[in-house]
Structure 1
């Protein structure tokens, strides 16, 4: 059986294949930053992540975005979400 990380099929796993495999296995922005020094494409998903988390917690995304920061923080905390995980700039 061929190793799944041997992307070019040459029987050896080179540094490019190792890096690509590492990126495929990253499951969070923090993990990607720790391994590669940047957020990779996780930055693009931040708004989607917020919307999914907020809707799963029963919160209205549009209403949260219009709230003043203190009320929004309180609403997120009451829903069990960490306000520091989301950027509203």
Structure 2
């Protein structure tokens, strides 16, 4: 590994830094599986195969909000105009959410 993997700046790349460096360089599920024998972070939800996603459920809309870095609890304290603006800036349609 290069010195760029020396995350703690001590001048040497220890085994943990080497592991995390390799982990960060994986660009696909196949690469991760070849290096580490599992899917790693690539084993997540594949939305095209996820049949029980319901846009109307509060749990799924909370997931959508959190994926955009927003939290329902914070949005509930905002006035309607401010909330609409924040949702639009996050690329979400304010009409899809109920507060």
Length-normalised TM-score, structure 1: 0.48
- Richer in helix (by share): 1
